[in-house]
């Protein structure tokens, strides 16, 4: 299906952009949804934005929606739940299905699959909130033992956009970091801090986009660095040798397929001073805001924002066949 045929297909259907929702990433999702709606408008495609609430099935039926562009981020939108709802309703949508969405959102499961498939990732341990509540002293002792080899990142196991993430450099900071995670999630990912340059690689199907280097304003790529204007600098293509860029792209695709994903996404990596790389995570619904990385990578590959939206839809429909 070429883009002109795809545009005609979309023009003949009732299209919804799912945005907002109830997750901690609601505000970013609203921005992604607004950008996608503007792209549809430029392409001459009528689409309605739906701020997703618990009555989503009723709203979709009432509006007689026939295709959904999923612009939701975080829990209830990126973790397989909305995907399952749309599958039951028989509605096609963008992005991965239930299984890959759920696995990618779970940092522990993702890293377990990375390890199984030979994808290098930083050492980690998972702490359950229930274990913490039952045996706080033992849990803190275990994390302190894990910390003997250096600082840690402690982050909610199933959140995105660096929400609730703490960089822990002293044992006395562990408890506070765990509590911040448990306010958002039932699990805390305790990950050994790895120094290195922050890289990210966008993927469209089997097409790997140019590598981007991220230089955050803060000490790590936190929420401010991701979304505030001037919060980080994106260098695309990343100033790497051709061989190093290819290594990053090959590793990103390997991690993407290990989940397993097949539609589109973004893979975050760290390039260590010794030249080794570690995969951090796979994002199955990357942001599409004015400060987002995937549109930057697509632009560097010669694909403007509108074509990126169409390509995401094309790949999604191809997967559903």
Element housing 296 (H / E): helix 293-300
Residue of 49, 266, 306, 314 with catalytic role: 266
175 part of the active site: no
**Nearest in space to 124 (alpha carbons), one of 153, 100, 102, 148:** 153
Active-site residue, from 25, 158, 222, 296: 25
Name the catalytic one among 79, 268, 296, 306: 268
Q: Which among 132, 221, 227, 264 is annotated as catalytic?
A: 227
CA-CA distance, 155 to 163, in Å (whole number)? 8
In angstroms, the first-to-last Cα distance of the chain is: 12
The radius of gyration of the chain's CA atoms, rounded to the nearest angstrom, is 20
What is the C-alpha to C-alpha distance for residues 70 and 32, in angstroms, rounded to an integer? 10
Alpha-carbon span 202 to 52, nearest angstrom? 26
Q: Could you confirm whether 144 is annotated as catalytic?
A: no
138 is catalytic: no
> Active-site residue 287, yes or no?
yes
Torsion 297-302-304-307 (CA) sign = negative
What are the beta bridge partners of residue 277? 271
Q: Residue 257: count other Cβ atoms within 10 Å of its Cβ.
A: 16
**283: annotated active-site residue:** yes
Active-site pick, 79, 213, 222, 281: 281
Q: Is 129 a catalytic residue?
A: no
Q: Which of 287, 292, 296, 314 is catalytic?
A: 287
The verdict on whether omega for the bond into residue 19 sits within 30 degrees of 0, i.e. cis, is: no
Q: Across the strands, what pairs with 279?
A: 269
Catalytic sites, residue numbers: 25, 161, 227, 266, 268, 281, 283, 287
């Amino acid at each position: 299906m070429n883009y002109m045929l795809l545009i005609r297909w979309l023009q003949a259907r009732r299209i919804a952009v799912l945005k907002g929702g109830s997750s901690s990433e609601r505000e970013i999702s609203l921005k992604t949804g607004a950008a996608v709606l503007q792209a549809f408008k430029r392409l001459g495609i009528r689409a309605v934005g739906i701020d997703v609430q618990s009555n989503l099935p009723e709203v979709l039926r009432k509006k007689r929606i026939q295709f959904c562009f999923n612009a939701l981020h975080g829990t209830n939108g990126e973790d397989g739940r909305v995907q399952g709802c749309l599958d039951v309703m028989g509605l096609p949508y963008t992005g991965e299905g239930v299984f890959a969405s759920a696995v990618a959102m779970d940092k522990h499961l993702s890293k377990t699959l990375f390890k199984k498939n030979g994808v290098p990732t930083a050492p980690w341990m998972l702490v359950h909130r229930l274990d913490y509540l039952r045996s706080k002293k033992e849990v803190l002792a275990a994390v302190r033992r894990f910390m003997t080899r250096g600082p840690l990142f402690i982050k909610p196991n199933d959140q995105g956009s660096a929400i609730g993430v703490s960089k822990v450099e002293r044992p006395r900071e562990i408890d506070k970091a765990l509590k911040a995670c448990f306010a958002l999630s039932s699990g805390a990912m305790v990950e050994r801090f790895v120094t290195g340059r922050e890289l990210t690689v966008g993927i469209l199907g089997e097409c790997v986009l140019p590598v981007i280097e991220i230089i955050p304003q803060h000490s790590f790529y936190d929420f401010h660095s991701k979304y505030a204007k001037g919060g980080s600098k994106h260098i695309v293509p990343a100033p790497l040798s051709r061989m190093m860029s290819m290594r990053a792209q090959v590793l990103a695709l390997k991690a993407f397929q290990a989940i397993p994903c097949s539609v589109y996404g973004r893979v975050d990596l760290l390039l260590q001073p010794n030249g080794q790389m570690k995969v951090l995570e796979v994002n199955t619904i990357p942001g599409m805001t004015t400060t987002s990385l995937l549109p930057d990578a697509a632009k560097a590959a010669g694909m403007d924002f509108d074509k990126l939206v169409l390509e995401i839809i094309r790949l999604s429909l191809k997967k559903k066949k």
